[in-house]
Structure 1
Amino acid sequence: MTTTLECRGVTAGYLKERPCVRDVDLTLAAGEITCLLGPNGAGKTTLLETLAGLLPHTGGAIEVEGAPVRSGRPRDAVRAGMVLVPDDRALFRQLSTKQNLLLAVPERSRRSSALKQVLQYFPALEKRLSVDAGRLSGGEQQMLAIGRAILQRPSVLLIDELSMGLAPVIVTEILEVLRRLATAEGTSVLLVEQHVHLALGSADRAAVLVHGRIADRDSAAALRADPGRVERAYLGTDAA
């Protein structure tokens, strides 16, 4: 399959002398969902912020579709096709749902079709277009954040803590949308998720990040079939 994102030896953190992410190699394929697992403090959010250009990497290289992405340049990352949905969703709470979506569509001629596209993925938002984002439920806010990201036509969609504060039925619905998006658009999805079984049941591939390093990686099906393997990776013991 076509590679969209490739990280080679990526090292990053908030203090150069104390990296949170160390020598990470990660490859994403077009049309696949990859879940990034790991305990709290493992460096998952740091890695996503580094990929999105919000943090500079102090070592290694990041490429999207074979082209290098400059370190610490979020605009370059977006231009390359990477879009991040952060764990706080980064919505403009005093703007309506519709206004939040249209911020991602500068071309006026495309706005009508763009809204239809999002509502096809998230029909629950149709009756909430005039409602301020701050008044939406947690599930609706996550749908809005992902919908806005979709309108930026990402080749790589990064989602941090998808299920935070959400009911399992809503998470399942959103995961089904991400599968449709990956299949229809060839988008690569990198998903940080704490609910291991839910994530492995929806993803194609998975990697476990522990203490800033990849402790194990495989197909999601292989890791789902051996729960002890994931547990051993979390505990830092040999997963082999």
Structure 2
Amino acid sequence: MTALRCRGLSAGYVRQRPCVRDVDLDVEAGQIACLLGPNGAGKTTLLMSLAGMVPRFAGEVTVDGKVLPADRPRDSVRAGLVLVPDDRALFRQLPTVANLRLAVKARGDRAAAIEEVLGYFPSLRKRLGVEAGRLSGGEQQMLAIGRAIVQRPKVLLIDELSMGLAPVIVDEILDVLRRLADERGMAVVLVEQHVQLALSIADRAGILVHGSIAIDDSAQALRADPARIERAYLSV
């Protein structure tokens, strides 16, 4: 079942110069897809436009077949699409537990939802009373993803997951994302600079060049052909 689909998506900040051009993308339920490409290729803009946070100039985005209106992030969240941005967008002066509580849709579900997050990220249990701004980078990323999890997304978008994090923390988070995809049927889309790291966890991969998808293939196929990736990166 296709969880996320976009067709002919063009988006950006100036209509005459879109950063993302005519992008087609399909991500199945339970699938992890990674978006790769050189700096400035349009990866972050693509995620932001999918989430309704950057203007779309053309094309259509659907979640479980439901069309998402452009430029309306709340409607995207209600439809089941949640973005973890590269700055994590935490309430830095609020404690960890408050960040989680604020994201739970139904007040009566808060305790169970928080316990669910702690099941995925047990190291946060001792940090529930600590202000988010005082957490380590790894803990902040766990909290940002945990805050997304309690919203029960059908599609989870994560921008620059590994940025500034120790490899052991990245491995822990990637294991959680694999579990979320496998156990809950969540579709996950990662933007990641570390190519081999992304391909190690992903099922599919797209390489963006100049705002368009130059390569769309299985992660396994791209892992086996690094020269193909290199040619795409060097084509800029």
Interval of TM-score (by shorter of Structure 1 and Structure 2): over 0.9
Partner of 2:160: 161
The alignment status of 1:199 with 2:193, answered yes or no, reads no
CA distance in 2, matches of 1:153, 1:108: 14
Give 1:107 deviation, angstroms. Answer: 2.1
- How far the C-alpha of 1:38 sits from its partner, in A, is 0.5
TM-score w.r.t. length of structure 1: 0.97
Q: Which runs of 4+ in 1 moved over 6 A?
A: none
* CA distance in structure 1 between the aligned counterparts of 2:102 and 2:182, rounded to whole angstroms: 25
Cross-structure match for 2:55: 56
The whole-number CA distance in structure 1 between the counterparts of 2:148 and 2:107 is: 17
**1:214 aligned residue:** 213
Task: Give CA deviations for 1:46-88 in whole Å, capped at 9, x if unaligned.
Answer: 0000000001210111111111111111111111110000000
Question: What fraction of aligned residue pairs are identical, expressed as a percent?
Answer: 69
| Alignment-derived partner of residue 108 in structure 2 | 109
Unaligned runs of 5+ in 1: none
Q: CA RMSD in A?
A: 0.8
Partner amino acid for 1:189? V
Instruction: Supply the distance in 1 between the matched residues of 2:214 and 2:234 (Cα, whole angstroms).
Output: 10
Give the aligned residue type for 1:31.
G
Alignment match, 2:187: 188
Which residue is 2:118 aligned to? 119
| Residue equivalent to 1:85 | 84
How far apart in 1 are the matches of 2:55 and 2:3? 20
CA drift of 1:92 comes to 0.4
**Secondary structure, counterpart of 1:214 in structure 2:** strand
What count of residue pairs does the alignment treat as equivalent? 236
Structure 1 counterpart of 2:121, one-letter code: F
State the match for 1:7 in structure 2.
Answer: 6
Please give the secondary structure, in 2, of the residue aligned with 1:103: helix
User: TM-score, normalization: structure 2?
Assistant: 0.98
**Match runs of 1:6-45 below 5 Å:** 6-45=5-44
Mapped partners of 2:182, 2:118: distance in 1: 18
> Amino acid of the residue matched to residue 69 of structure 1?
L
Shift, 1:145, TM fit? 0.1
Distance 2:75 2:114 in 1: 26
1:132 shift after superposition: 0.3
In structure 1, how many angstroms separate the alpha carbons of the residues matched to 2:50 and 2:186? 16
